[in-house]
């Protein structure tokens, strides 16, 4: 712009014009309006915030030292009829109160270093930690975490009531209460009191609350005997007890343990020498030997109650946002009412059967489970397990098995081993010995119409051992041929276009992927057989051929829908190789990990109820002290197969019991029953899974140490007797399984699976091969039998008759024709059409 007189006057006139003045007034008005509104909103927000905080503080409970240490309120468990069956309190949990004076200084310092490094200097709230956590949250674009003091954690776990923490408002409300009460607690209690209560309360995984219970669980020793390395392991668990579980995720725990030790070094709790020694310690080898053998000084629960507690804890975390510590505290001291699905009458029947020696092979024996914690002459901690006892036995020619005639013999051998260790100069720190009776058993009974678990048996004999002994819900065993129904024949009938009449040749056969030969449990080969016969007689080769056509991938997908979460598709093994369950031997139950009794039973329940999968549930609802429903079980199901498929499988499994491999499981009443037996090839696992129109049940029998034995079919007898008693006790009327719409019948030939030819298929030399079979509509075969062939023979020459053979000399015989690629001798072989009959005729009557 040129600053001439005319230009300046022109600009001044423009700026003072009426239009410009009007725009300026509007802009100024809008600015004032927006400013006033903004101030009003800020004031309103502050007012609401202050009101919200005041409201929260009004509902905040009063804090006392006694309330922090409160045992809380008793939780009650009810059965499915609303009858009280159990009460829980802190005394029942895996929690052992211990004074701070009996906790090593390294243990105290480890938790302070990793959880609250300014514990001794703050007043209950760590402002520096909060600011730092907020800054890191902004920097990393993540939610704000951290800054929570030990005092706040103690308040959260021991004082504040049960409420959901899933929404932002709920979390803010909880945080305000935590900070307010933390300030108050720090005014009335010493740091030592707070630390002691915290260390007795914190959840350290595997259902343990407090450092004493955790020391016994993971190291089989008192907390006072823990080494620096072991203290760091426990402190590493706190951030996420599942992720940093030193048993299931030792690699995760190890990385965080290293952080704990570095923090202790940086904060001058330990020296460089202490640090190096702790880092070199192979602590996880001791944990793997000790953890499963840890003793418990707490009250034992039944197997059902143990499983119920675990499910409630899981759902409190998953559905309400609780952490593990709060979930366990809620169960044991929250005054909950837990309405379980247990039917006490059915549970009692199962309990009595499991405790009856008549259902087990004579001469029951005992296995040795052992752990010995010592400190050698150099001051190093050394842990021995039953494998060391076995080596000792072999070296001294005392035997080669940890299975003994009775518990006394097992304990005597453990004593000899212990003395040999003491003689070396070692000091005994802790010892655990258990001699469970063998063989063992597990039983699961489910109401298939809802998925409600009515009874659980995790073993026989002493039931006071830890959860890892629950053979019904936790232990994974190979299912054997029991698995054919689920892995192979279910998808074959449901989506692969096969029927119960589909025929395969039971003949010598090798796995396609490994070329290993497959053996049946019986001698020889039966030749052409239907899928119905394969189910009834548990024919391995036909199952393997069927899954090859279905494809293992399709089978695997069906199994996932049936709730099997123990399967793997790409698992890295210790030797660096990978393992998968997606292979042909899936048809016979060849699995990487095995299955639990609970998931196997529930899968069969999905067939029993018409094809709907329900999550197995151990409770219907969980109610707090005020009557609010915290949890309720999911009653919705998922369709996993056609109703026609479930009917066809059920009908075939009825044959298993009437004249197949499950005849020992026949009931004494007219109640309809279907089922499938299962035995592993090494004869270490015996199963029977079956159902009536009311209940589904599986019985497993075997040695904990995978020992070969003969069950003498007693597990099937047990299954039948339990079901008979249930029917009698519950006064269940005999009923048959419902036949859905869409089922039809047709007469087929059992040697071809196709429509039978009158006068041919019914004249097989071994008897009629014609049977009436069920089909889903649209799957009835349209072709006639091409396996049987009728040939006219000359009686005199026993050769195919020619046109010159007299009518009186002609006879009619029926033969079998095998496929061109068939190999090996089978039961069909004697009845095959001779090759020469296809080219030659009678050599006597030539004119």
In this predicted structure, the answer to whether residue 273 has a pLDDT above a threshold of 80 is: yes
Q: Of residues 65 and 29, which shows the higher confidence score? A: 65
> Average pLDDT for residues 373-396, to the nearest whole number?
88
Residues contacting 19, CB < 8 A, separation 6+: none
Question: pLDDT tier at 821 (50, 70, 90 boundaries)?
Answer: confident
Give the integer Cα–Cα distance in Å for 566 and 576: 20
The predicted-structure confidence for 555-568, as pLDDT tens digits, reads as follows 999 999 999 998 99
> Average pLDDT for residues 664-675, to the nearest whole number?
97
- Give me the residues paired with residue 690 across strands: 675, 697
Question: pLDDT tier at 56 (50, 70, 90 boundaries)?
Answer: very low
The predicted-structure confidence for 414-460, as pLDDT tens digits, reads as follows 999 999 999 998 888 778 888 999 999 999 999 999 999 999 999 99
Tell me the pairing of strands 612-613 and 638-639.
antiparallel
In this predicted structure, the answer to whether residue 251 has a pLDDT above a threshold of 80 is: yes
Predicted model pTM: 0.84
CATH class of the region 94-297: mainly alpha
In this predicted structure, the answer to whether residue 550 has a pLDDT above a threshold of 60 is: yes
CA dihedral (43, 49, 50, 52) positive or negative: positive
Give the integer Cα–Cα distance in Å for 278 and 674: 58
The kind and range of the H/E element at 475 are none
Q: Which two tokens stand for residue 7?
A: 């230009």
The predicted-structure confidence for 7-55, as pLDDT tens digits, reads as follows 655 655 555 566 655 665 666 566 666 766 666 666 655 655 555 455 5
Residues contacting 324, CB < 8 A, separation 6+: 203, 205, 241, 242, 313, 317
Average pLDDT of the chain to the nearest whole number = 87
- Please state, in angstroms and as integers, the Cα–Cα distance from residue 333 to each residue in 40, 75, 324, 750, following that order: 46, 6, 14, 63
Q: Token pair 């349209």 is at which residue?
A: 782
DSSP result, 731-798: TPPP--PPPPTTEEEEEEETTTSSB--TTTGGG-TTS--EEEEEEETT-S--SBP-SEEEEEEETTTT
The predicted-structure confidence for 634-654, as pLDDT tens digits, reads as follows 889 999 999 999 999 999 999
Q: Of residues 788 and 144, which shows the higher confidence score? A: 788
pLDDT at 108: 96
In this predicted structure, the answer to whether residue 87 has a pLDDT above a threshold of 60 is: yes
pLDDT at 835: 87
Question: pLDDT tier at 383 (50, 70, 90 boundaries)?
Answer: confident
Q: Token pair 């951030």 is at which residue?
A: 239
Give the integer Cα–Cα distance in Å for 240 and 259: 14
pLDDT at 295: 45
Q: Which two tokens stand for residue 759?
A: 């006068």
The predicted-structure confidence for 495-540, as pLDDT tens digits, reads as follows 999 999 999 999 999 999 899 999 999 999 999 999 999 999 999 9
Question: pLDDT tier at 296 (50, 70, 90 boundaries)?
Answer: very low
- Distance between first and last Cα of the chain: 132
The predicted-structure confidence for 306-350, as pLDDT tens digits, reads as follows 999 999 999 998 998 887 878 888 888 888 999 999 999 999 999
pLDDT at 69: 75
pLDDT at 681: 87
The predicted-structure confidence for 161-204, as pLDDT tens digits, reads as follows 666 566 666 666 677 777 777 788 888 889 999 999 999 988 88
**DSSP-based three-state secondary structure for 812:** strand
- Give me the residues paired with residue 95 across strands: 209
pLDDT at 662: 95
| Peptide bond connecting 748 to the previous residue in cis, omega within 30 degrees of 0 | no
- Cα atoms found within 13 Å of the Cα of residue 410, Cβ hemisphere only: 21
User: For the ranges 376-385, 441-450, 593-602, 687-696, which has the lowest average pLDDT?
Assistant: 376-385
Give the integer Cα–Cα distance in Å for 507 and 663: 25
Q: Which two tokens stand for residue 823?
A: 């190999």
- Cα atoms found within 13 Å of the Cα of residue 296, Cβ hemisphere only: 23
Topology, domain 478-594 = Beta-lactamase (3.40.710)
In this predicted structure, the answer to whether residue 797 has a pLDDT above a threshold of 50 is: yes
Tell me the pairing of strands 75-78 and 337-340.
parallel
- Cα atoms found within 13 Å of the Cα of residue 776, Cβ hemisphere only: 20
C-alpha dihedral, 506 to 510 to 516 to 520, nearest 10°: 0
> Average pLDDT for residues 738-752, to the nearest whole number?
97
Closest CA to 118 of 81, 162, 148, 163: 148
- Give me the residues paired with residue 455 across strands: 445
Contact of 732 with 726, CB cutoff 8 Å: yes
Closest CA to 308 of 280, 336, 274: 336
Q: Token pair 């293992």 is at which residue?
A: 552
Give the integer Cα–Cα distance in Å for 507 and 492: 20
User: For the ranges 109-113, 147-151, 231-235, 705-709, which has the lowest average pLDDT?
Assistant: 147-151
pLDDT at 165: 60
Give the integer Cα–Cα distance in Å for 80 and 4: 99
- The domain segmentation of the chain, as residue ranges, is 5-58, 94-297, 365-438, 478-594, 741-778, 787-847
* Other beta carbons within 10 Å of 373: 22
C-alpha dihedral, 607 to 611 to 616 to 621, nearest 10°: -140
């Amino acid at each position: 712009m040129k600053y001439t007189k005319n230009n300046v006057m022109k600009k001044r006139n423009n700026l003072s014009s009426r239009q410009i003045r009007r725009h300026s007034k509007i802009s100024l008005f809008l600015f004032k309006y927006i400013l006033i509104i903004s101030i009003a909103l800020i004031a309103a927000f502050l007012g609401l915030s202050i009101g919200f905080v005041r409201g929260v503080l009004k509902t905040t409970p009063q804090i006392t030292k006694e309330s922090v240490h409160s045992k809380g309120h008793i939780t009650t468990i009810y059965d499915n009829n609303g009858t009280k069956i159990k009460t829980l309190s802190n005394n029942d949990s895996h929690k052992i109160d211990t004074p701070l004076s009996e906790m090593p200084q390294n243990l105290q310092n480890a938790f302070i270093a990793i959880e609250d490094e300014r514990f001794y200097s703050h007043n209950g709230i760590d402002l520096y930690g909060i600011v730092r956590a907020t800054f890191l949250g902004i920097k990393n674009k993540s939610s704000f975490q951290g800054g929570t003091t030990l005092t706040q954690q103690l308040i959260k776990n021991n004082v504040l009531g049960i409420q959901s923490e899933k929404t932002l408002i709920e979390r803010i409300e909880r945080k305000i209460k935590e900070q307010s009460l933390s300030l108050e607690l720090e005014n009335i209690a010493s740091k030592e009191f707070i630390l002691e209560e915290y260390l007795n309360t914190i959840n350290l995984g595997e259902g343990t609350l407090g450092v004493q219970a955790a020391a016994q669980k993971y190291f089989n020793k008192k907390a006072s005997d823990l080494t620096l390395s072991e203290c760091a392991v426990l402190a590493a668990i706190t951030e996420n007890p599942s992720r940093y579980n030193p048993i299931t995720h030792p690699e995760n725990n190890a990385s965080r343990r290293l952080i704990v030790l570095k923090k202790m070094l940086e904060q001058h709790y330990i020296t460089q020498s202490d640090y190096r020694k702790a880092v070199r310690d192979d602590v996880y080898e001791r944990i793997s030997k000790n953890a499963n053998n840890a003793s418990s000084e707490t009250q034992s629960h039944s197997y059902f109650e143990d499983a119920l507690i675990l499910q409630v804890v899981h759902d409190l975390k998953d559905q309400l946002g609780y952490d593990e510590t709060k979930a366990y505290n809620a169960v044991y001291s929250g005054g909950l009412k837990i309405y379980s699905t247990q039917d006490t009458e059915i549970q009692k029947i199962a309990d009595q059967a499991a405790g009856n020696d008549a259902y087990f092979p004579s001469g029951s024996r005992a296995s040795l489970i052992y752990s010995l914690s010592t400190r050698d002459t150099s001051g190093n901690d050394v842990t021995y397990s039953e494998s060391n006892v076995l080596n000792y036995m072999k070296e001294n020619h005392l035997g080669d098995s940890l299975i003994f005639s009775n518990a006394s013999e097992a304990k005597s051998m453990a004593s000899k081993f212990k003395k040999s260790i003491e003689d070396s100069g070692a000091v005994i720190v802790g010892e655990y010995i258990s001699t469970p009776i063998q063989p063992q058993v597990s039983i699961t009974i489910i109401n298939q119409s809802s998925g409600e678990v009515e009874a659980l048996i995790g073993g026989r004999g002493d039931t006071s051992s830890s959860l890892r002994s629950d053979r019904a819900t936790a232990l994974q065993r190979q299912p054997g041929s029991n698995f054919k129904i689920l892995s192979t024949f279910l998808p074959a009938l449901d989506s692969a276009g096969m029927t119960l009449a589909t025929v395969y040749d039971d003949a010598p056969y090798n796995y396609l992927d490994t070329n290993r030969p497959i053996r049946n449990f019986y001698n020889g080969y039966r030749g052409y057989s239907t899928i119905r016969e394969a189910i009834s007689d548990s024919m391995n080769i036909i199952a393997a051929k069927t899954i090859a056509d279905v494809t293992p991938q399709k089978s695997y997908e069906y199994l996932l829908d049936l709730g099997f979460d123990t399967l793997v598709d790409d698992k890295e093994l210790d030797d660096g190789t990978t393992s998968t369950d997606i292979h042909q031997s899936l048809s016979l139950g060849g699995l990487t990990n095995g299955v639990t009794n609970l998931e196997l039973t529930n899968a069969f329940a999905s067939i029993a109820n018409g094809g709907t999968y329900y999550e197995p549930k151990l409770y219907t609802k969980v109610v707090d002290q005020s009557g609010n429903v915290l949890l309720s079980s999911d009653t919705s199901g998922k369709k996993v197969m056609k109703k026609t498929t479930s009917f066809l499988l059920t009908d075939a499994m009825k044959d298993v019991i009437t004249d197949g491999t499950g005849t020992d499981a026949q009931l004494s009443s007219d109640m309809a029953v279907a089922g499938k037996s299962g035995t592993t090839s090494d004869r270490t696992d015996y199963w029977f899974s079956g159902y009536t129109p009311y209940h589904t049940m599986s019985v497993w029998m075997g040695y904990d140490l995978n020992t070969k034995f003969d069950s003498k079919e007693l597990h099937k007898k047990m299954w039948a007797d339990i079901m008979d008693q249930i029917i009698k006790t519950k006064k269940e009327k005999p009923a048959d399984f419902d036949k859905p719409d869409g089922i039809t019948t047709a007469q087929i030939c059992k040697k071809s699976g196709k429509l039978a030819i009158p006068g041919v298929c019914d004249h097989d030399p071994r008897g009629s091969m014609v049977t009436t079979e069920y089909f889903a509509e649209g799957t009835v075969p349209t072709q006639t039998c091409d396996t049987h062939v009728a040939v006219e023979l000359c009686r005199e020459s026993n050769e195919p008759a020619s046109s010159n053979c007299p009518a009186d000399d002609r006879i009619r015989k029926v033969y079998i024709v095998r496929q061109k690629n068939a190999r090996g001798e089978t039961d069909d072989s004697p009845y095959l059409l001779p090759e020469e009959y296809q080219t030659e005729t009678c050599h006597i009557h030539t004119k």
